[in-house]
Chains A and B, each alone.
Chain A
Amino acid sequence: MANFTRRKFLQVTGGAVAVSSLGFPAIVGAASKKVVVVGGGVGGATAAKYIRMADSSIDVTLIEPNTEYYTCFMSNEVLSGHRTMDSIKVTYDGLKGHGVNVVHDTVTDIDAAGKKVMTAGGKTFAYDRCIVAPGISFASNIEGYDEAAMKTMPHAWKAGEQTVILRKQLEAMDDGGVVAIAAPPNPFRCPPGPYERACQIAMYLRAKKPKSKLIILDAKDKFSKQGLFMQAFERHHAGIVEWVSAEKGGKVTRVDAATNTLYVGDTAHKVAVANVIPAQTAGAIAIKAGLTDDKGWCPIDGRSFESTIHKNVHVIGDASVATPLPKSGYAANSEGKVAAAAVVDLLNGREPGDPALVNTCYSVVGPDDAISVAKVYDLKDGKLNGVEGSGGLTSKDSSPEMRAREVDYAYSWFANIKKDSWG
């Protein structure tokens, strides 16, 4: 502010008047502000796009290692053979169309004090505001589950190559085999995911390998949409799917990748296909940049999603602590827009307005049967808050007709969130 001379002031206000009276989004006498977005998943992509939509004078660079991104959502339908890998693939052409500078590189560090981002490719990007959307990384809660084990006992919790491995294993499996899903402890990405996956794989097994079984070995005693999933297990997947809670011996502590065996204490489950989903923390770069708390997730201010640890850095999506919002794709999309609006406000010298967020999440649990959960969120007393009376689950008693509609709406959700985030 000390350098804020009278002349500059005149230039800036002159620019502002020019905007108002002529209607041109021309900024006079101001260098363009720079935003760097780390990570091109749903949160990062959405934030980048919405910043550009709100203020095209802001220079946005998005750094993401992959040139093609596979969405986690609907990847369970690839496992069941209902859809192809191609159908969950997105590219970054849409974002480029919005004027986002997309760089395919891996961020190796974020210097919050120096306001710059460094990459494996040796580049440095200065920023005025940085948005970090790194997703998740895996914690080592299961002995023996390492990088090598992931190749034979895929987690498939980041879609892409992992999804393909798991699908191929299911295809190669003999009829009568056992598929195990080791479900992670809370908190983790996509809370209903493991159970929707069980339903999807069960649909494949019933059609192609009807003598097979699927067992969910869970590190928890309860899970998201539980009543509705149990209903689906009974209604569509009876005789195939079995859920074992932690209490009943479901908590996998060790694996042996060589023999495809999962251990719950001393009890061994030797299976045909093992899908091991480990415990999770914020994406590695968030940890490296010192954005995480002692539990491994990134605390944020609910109004702007700015880190409460480092100024000028915002963290969105699965990596952030946005409780009561779940770690879901829709939440990440919603958070991306809140962060985008806040960043645009802050870079234009305004206080960020009140945020509004929504989560909607569908699970396709059987033929012509989908269920959903939804909630509206706002800011109350400075904290993110689920609006009372809003949201909730699909009714257990909803008619087959309405369940079938939910499948169509689940696919609409998918088509629209892809386009809204990357398109």
Chain B
Amino acid sequence: MNTYKIITIACVLMPFGLAQGAPSSNVAWTVETHSLVRKGDASIGAKIETVETEDVNACTDCHGKGGAEPDRDKHPTLAGQVAAYTFKQLRDYKDGSRENRRMNEAVERLTNEQLAALAAWYAQQPVPSVEVDADETVSEETVRLVFRGDKKRLIQPCASCHGRNGQGAIIDVPAIAGQNVKYFVETMKDYAGEKRTNDIYSRMRIIAKALTRDEINELAVYYARLGNEQSDGSTQQAAAQ
């Protein structure tokens, strides 16, 4: 157990300590950055998302209108996402802190203001419902991870950062309720495999590494359903009113 912990910690620290790697992200949440995101103009974002150039697809080509209809389930749903989170990801794509060739190219020529506008636009959209296989089950142990975490494995409860309803938090914590199952799983695997490294203090990488594959799959299903329940609920409420 102790040896395992030491190895885990050593593996996590190595890229930063010994190899003196680049910081995980260059976005600092200064007052100016917050202000920039807060002032993001959603109406401009709405226009930007449909713009395509000679070499770059429009946002809508892959993520659908308002980021609500990804053309593949491995592309994320962006609708209803926390603006600060979206903004940071776009910035990370822009300077290469987060790697994806197509996204790196897509944001290359956008200014910080334009990125903030896109983030604001997506944040305004209602969370769409996502497809979840009805046969998928989520065990009690996995639900416990959400609310209690697992002290033995140093896993914090998901809800402690992402909120009881998976809604995210104003400062850069993404909403995960209503995310595509496949994107959720792929993201966690990318964190675990150090393919995505733009999480500050490698918080998600540590957690993703500690989780088993089955737990990740079940968490993805749990949060997809949670999003669906919420969007159903809001529809019902709207109907009642």
Q: Do chains A and B touch in the complex (CB under 8 A)?
A: no
Query: Chain A residues in contact with chain B, CB under 8 A?
Result: none
